[in-house]
Amino acid sequence: MMEQFAQVALPVPLAKTFDYRITEHVPVVGARVKVPFGRQHKVGIVTAITTTPSVAAHQVKAITEVLDDVPLWTPAVYRLLQWASRFYHHPLGDAMGAVMPTLLRKGRPAALKQQKWWQLTEAGQNQPVTGLTRAPKQARVLTLLTHGPTPHADLVEQDITPAVINALVDKGWIAPYTPPLEGKSWARHFAISEDKPSLNHEQAMAVATINASDGFACVLLEGITGSGKTEVYLNVLEPVLARGEQALILVPEIGLTPQTIRRFERRFNVPVTVMHSGLNDTERLSAWLAARDNQAAIVIGTRSALFTPMANLGIIIIDEEHDPSYKQQDSFRYHARDLAVMRGHEEKIPVVLGSATPSLETLHNAQTGKYQYLRLTQRPGNAVTARQGVLDIKGHHLEAGLSAPLIAEMRQHLQQGNQVMLFLNRRGYAPAMMCHECGWLASCQRCDAYYTLHQQHQELRCHHCGHQKRVPPQCGDCGSTQLISVGVGTEQLEAQLGELFPDYNTVRIDRDNTRRKGSLESYLAGIEKGEYQILLGTQMLAKGHHFPNVTLVALVDVDGALFSNDFRAPERLAQLMVQVAGRAGRASKPGTVILQTHHPEHSLIQALIHKGYQAFADSALAERRQAWLPPYTFLSLFRAEGHEDNSVQQFLQQVRQTLAASPIQHDEVHIMGPMPAPMARRAGRYRWQLLIQAPSRKVMQQWLTVALPVIQQLPLSRKVRWSLDVEPQDL
């Protein structure tokens, strides 16, 4: 028989597979194998079996161990990964390694760990317990086991040590027991809670439309916060779960609240598995296995949960589909929302994209009929929408960023016993520290950026490279000791609020003080209980939480987003504004939203305040069309960085030439750059970028596919750090 070799995709940043000799049985395609790689071993995925290795057969090393009898992923997820690897031009093995639970990448068996059980043997059953007075613990075990097989953990809980158990095993009185698999038992317990609202007309229409789809369909469900989107999801899930099929629900990174999870559990009485970054490796693996083996009916997770294999998937729901956290920003740079649509296609099931403020890409797809477009325009229970207003702060005296009219308004709401919420997207005490005598600004040595002052820790911290140091006693230039802070961050605002409103408690929610595990949850619980009256935070606070007693929301400073380099900044600001407006107030307590700006006349603000998100989106889309920006064109971004400014720029120049020499000519493809990145130096590295703009995904892919192998051969490509971001979210 001809000798056989396995092609293996390994978690390394090289766009190729590696051949290994098959010694024992032939692994199936999609199974994990452990193989020697350099001086170590790595776990990879078999992508093909061949009789002709790519290098001389005697040089090919042997597989160390075949780890799986069956493919690791379902066929649909396996195809999805291959598609994503091609589309994002990321090496398949590296992509696979990135999305598999860490323990699987380390070679742990891909099977739910069977709990160990013990039972009495026949000899044990006939053993009179009274004969064991000198070994009371052994006697206890025998007594316990007379009630039937018992999990090992239960014995441990009764202070039974392994020595006691081993003694009984040696005597032949007890033996291991294999419990029958519970299997798909959730389908037997499935029930729909009677305690559920009857749908309004729009909700009923949405549910009917989604459930009528046979096979793949993509649906945009647009509805303001509180309009009952989650209620629609729940109703859409009814027939899916009743058929015994599973549901996958993606939520933004910070949007995964215990309330949401409980809502799904209660409604259907089925197991809900949660996957988020807070899980440890063991928890993550068991969640993954529960999903794959159909022990979980519903999987709720953040971005990477998209790749969870599911035995019998019936629907995918992406909540808050516009949220930027769906885009992976390093290494394997995929967009989970876009890939979810692809997965729905592969699985032949519906995909629901829900949002109060759909991304312009998704809106465009809905408006052009590529997606079905469903809207919820009413809030159940006649809740009124928030009143919105702009506060022109030109020339106003500001106290830690707050104008006098805003402070007055806050006081009024607080005196009525309501809560007030303030947004400021800058953590720390102040975004810069300056010398009052000569104007010197403390800036990071390694970045083109100023240090942020963190007063509480008496530290200067660079928010770009993480560098930190003690606050210097003197100016770095003239030696003056008159150092002052410039601008306002959340830490300073918090201190000021304490002085302005000594009778009320303020809670601050940002990345700095929610680092400790459980701290965010405890703050949120405190808000719910009314322990805090003033809520202050970065946009972390805007996501996923309902605050029914908040009647005033203020965006303290929106000017930065109006004049940003990033063409998506206005869209993000509009989304934030609508999101927070939706979180304020309820039927009996209508909310007010206030924006502080120096530019009240700005067209974005005008459109949003007077006409709403839809009008804003229409005008923003018109601008994008004019400017040849997504969704009307498709972008890819080469980023490069290195210690030598010149070679970084030169590398991208060569990339440009390679692209331009492409045999696929297309007048509508534009290459822009190389140009310095928005932060031209970070952590001591010089950074440049090159932007490609193509009229279609197809043309973009043709260009990249032809050029990349050449680019990878450029000598400079090994000297500078570079990456390709297909359809980048941040420019």
Tokens of residue 263, six digits = 């809502």
Pick 266 or 348: Cβ nearer ligand ADP: 266
Pick 45 or 475: Cβ nearer Zn ion: 475
Picked from ligand ADP, Zn ion, none, the partner binding residue 475 (CB below 5 to 8 A depending on kind) is Zn ion
Closest CA to 458 of 491, 482, 436, 412: 491
Q: Which residues bind ligand ADP (CB under 6 A)?
A: 197, 199-200, 203, 223, 225-231, 380-381
- Report the distance separating Cα 315 and Cα 334, nearest Å: 21
Pick 222 or 641: Cβ nearer ligand ADP: 222
Pick 203 or 425: Cβ nearer ligand ADP: 203
Candidates 108, 375, 446, 599; binder of Zn ion (CB under 5 A) is: 446
Pick 364 or 427: Cβ nearer Zn ion: 427
Pick 229 or 464: Cβ nearer ligand ADP: 229
Pick 317 or 655: Cβ nearer ligand ADP: 317
Question: How many beta carbons lie within 10 A of that of residue 221, not counting itself?
Answer: 30
Enumerate the β-bridge partners of residue 217: 350
Picked from ligand ADP, Zn ion, none, the partner binding residue 535 (CB below 5 to 8 A depending on kind) is none
> What one-character DSSP code corresponds to residue 675?
E
- Phi and psi, residue 57, nearest 5°: -55, -35
Tokens of residue 207, six digits = 């549910």
- Report the distance separating Cα 153 and Cα 114, nearest Å: 12
Total interface residues for Zn ion by CB under 5 A: 15
- Report the distance separating Cα 436 and Cα 434, nearest Å: 6
| Least Cβ distance, residue 510 to ligand ADP (angstroms) | 24
Candidate segments 374-382, 402-410, 477-485, 568-576, binder of Zn ion by CB under 5 A: 477-485
Candidate segments 133-141, 424-432, 476-484, 598-606, binder of Zn ion by CB under 5 A: 476-484
Tokens of residue 426, six digits = 């800058």
Picked from ligand ADP, Zn ion, none, the partner binding residue 440 (CB below 5 to 8 A depending on kind) is Zn ion
- Report the distance separating Cα 121 and Cα 452, nearest Å: 69
Question: How many beta carbons lie within 10 A of that of residue 60, not counting itself?
Answer: 18
Pick 257 or 662: Cβ nearer ligand ADP: 257
480 is a contact residue toward Zn ion (CB under 5 A): yes
Tell whether the torsion through CA atoms of 260, 264, 265 and 267 is positive or negative. Answer: positive
- Report the distance separating Cα 352 and Cα 373, nearest Å: 10
| Least Cβ distance, residue 426 to Zn ion (angstroms) | 16
| Least Cβ distance, residue 255 to ligand ADP (angstroms) | 11
| Least Cβ distance, residue 457 to Zn ion (angstroms) | 17
| Least Cβ distance, residue 235 to ligand ADP (angstroms) | 9
Is residue 699 within a helix (H) or strand (E), and if so which, with residue range?
A: helix 697-713
Q: CB within 8 A of 37, min separation 6: which ones?
A: 10, 12, 18
Candidates 413, 427, 464, 589; binder of Zn ion (CB under 5 A) is: 464
Candidates 462, 507, 558, 648; binder of Zn ion (CB under 5 A) is: 462
> What one-character DSSP code corresponds to residue 532?
-
Picked from ligand ADP, Zn ion, none, the partner binding residue 190 (CB below 5 to 8 A depending on kind) is none
Pick 200 or 717: Cβ nearer ligand ADP: 200
* HSE-up (13 A, CA, CB side) for residue 498: 8
* Strand intervals (E) in 31-75: 32-37, 40-50, 65-66
Candidates 208, 478, 587, 615; binder of Zn ion (CB under 5 A) is: 478
One-letter amino acid for residue 375 of the chain: R
Residue 3 and residue 45 in contact, taking contact as beta carbons nearer than 8 Å? no
Pick 512 or 618: Cβ nearer Zn ion: 512
536 is a contact residue toward Zn ion (CB under 5 A): no
| Least Cβ distance, residue 199 to ligand ADP (angstroms) | 5
Is residue 317 within a helix (H) or strand (E), and if so which, with residue range?
A: strand 313-318
Candidate segments 84-92, 156-164, 398-406, 479-487, binder of Zn ion by CB under 5 A: 479-487
Closest CA to 25 of 76, 61, 66: 66
* HSE-up (13 A, CA, CB side) for residue 109: 5
Picked from Zn ion, ligand ADP, none, the partner binding residue 406 (CB below 5 to 8 A depending on kind) is none
477 is a contact residue toward Zn ion (CB under 5 A): yes
One-letter amino acid for residue 190 of the chain: F
- Report the distance separating Cα 19 and Cα 9, nearest Å: 9
Pick 149 or 590: Cβ nearer ligand ADP: 590
Picked from Zn ion, ligand ADP, none, the partner binding residue 230 (CB below 5 to 8 A depending on kind) is ligand ADP
Query: Site mask, Zn ion, residues 418-437, x = CB under 5 A?
Result: -----------------x-x
Tokens of residue 146, six digits = 């007379």
Pick 152 or 446: Cβ nearer Zn ion: 446
Pick 203 or 325: Cβ nearer ligand ADP: 203
Picked from ligand ADP, Zn ion, none, the partner binding residue 184 (CB below 5 to 8 A depending on kind) is none
> What one-character DSSP code corresponds to residue 441?
B
Picked from ligand ADP, Zn ion, none, the partner binding residue 226 (CB below 5 to 8 A depending on kind) is ligand ADP
Question: How many beta carbons lie within 10 A of that of residue 180, not counting itself?
Answer: 5
632 is a contact residue toward Zn ion (CB under 5 A): no
| Least Cβ distance, residue 78 to ligand ADP (angstroms) | 33
| Least Cβ distance, residue 469 to Zn ion (angstroms) | 11
Alpha-carbon distances, residue 530 vs 113, 497, 523, 555, 579 (angstroms): 43, 17, 11, 22, 22
Pick 157 or 195: Cβ nearer ligand ADP: 195
Closest CA to 321 of 300, 331, 309, 335: 335
Candidate segments 468-476, 542-550, 566-574, 708-716, binder of Zn ion by CB under 5 A: 468-476
Picked from Zn ion, ligand ADP, none, the partner binding residue 673 (CB below 5 to 8 A depending on kind) is none
| Least Cβ distance, residue 227 to ligand ADP (angstroms) | 5
Picked from ligand ADP, Zn ion, none, the partner binding residue 459 (CB below 5 to 8 A depending on kind) is none
Picked from Zn ion, ligand ADP, none, the partner binding residue 380 (CB below 5 to 8 A depending on kind) is ligand ADP
Tokens of residue 404, six digits = 């006098």
| Least Cβ distance, residue 328 to Zn ion (angstroms) | 23
Pick 302 or 633: Cβ nearer ligand ADP: 302
| Least Cβ distance, residue 155 to ligand ADP (angstroms) | 44
One-letter amino acid for residue 241 of the chain: L
> What one-character DSSP code corresponds to residue 547?
B
Picked from ligand ADP, Zn ion, none, the partner binding residue 267 (CB below 5 to 8 A depending on kind) is none
Pick 247 or 432: Cβ nearer ligand ADP: 247
Query: Site mask, Zn ion, residues 121-160, x = CB under 5 A?
Result: ----------------------------------------
447 is a contact residue toward Zn ion (CB under 5 A): yes
Q: Which of residues 392-411 bind Zn ion (CB under 5 A)?
A: none
What is the separation, in whole angstroms, between the first and last Cα of the chain? 55
Residue 348 and residue 216 in contact, taking contact as beta carbons nearer than 8 Å? yes
For residue 686, the Cα-to-chain-centroid distance in whole angstroms is 28
One-letter amino acid for residue 693 of the chain: Q
Exposure string over 390-417, b if 16+ CB within 10 A, otherwise e: bbebeeeebbbbbbeebbebbeebbeee
> What one-character DSSP code corresponds to residue 210?
H
| Least Cβ distance, residue 299 to ligand ADP (angstroms) | 18
- Report the distance separating Cα 412 and Cα 406, nearest Å: 10
Q: Which residues form the interface with Zn ion (CB under 5 A)?
A: 435, 437-438, 440, 444, 446-447, 462, 464-465, 467, 475, 477-478, 480
